[in-house]
Amino acid sequence: MTVTAEEVAQWMLNELKNKGILHQEEATRYIASHYGEAFLYVNDNGNLSIGKDVKKAFRKLHKGRAAWERDGFFWGWV
């Protein structure tokens, strides 16, 4: 069974709902071990980041109710 970006995004949304916050480092670690590194990439700063297709699907799911906290590297509710 092939995993989709939407499924990874749904996991992210569930984590955010359950914990109220989702840290980038925790998310990338989980995604790598459970879904595979195909959903990740190394950004310009050399950090592991969540793939653009997953982030796009995640934005669609949370419908603007979650925001990225740039300084803390996490998503939280607005």
C-beta separation of 24 from 49 below 8 A: yes
For the entire predicted model, the pTM comes to: 0.94
How many angstroms separate the CA atoms of 12 and 21, rounded? 10
Range of the domain at 64: 5-77
* Total tally of structural domains belonging to the chain: 1
Instruction: Please state, for a pLDDT cut of 90, what percent of the chain lies above it.
Output: 96
Per-residue pLDDT of 7-22, as tens digits, reads: 999 999 999 999 999 9
DSSP state of 22: E
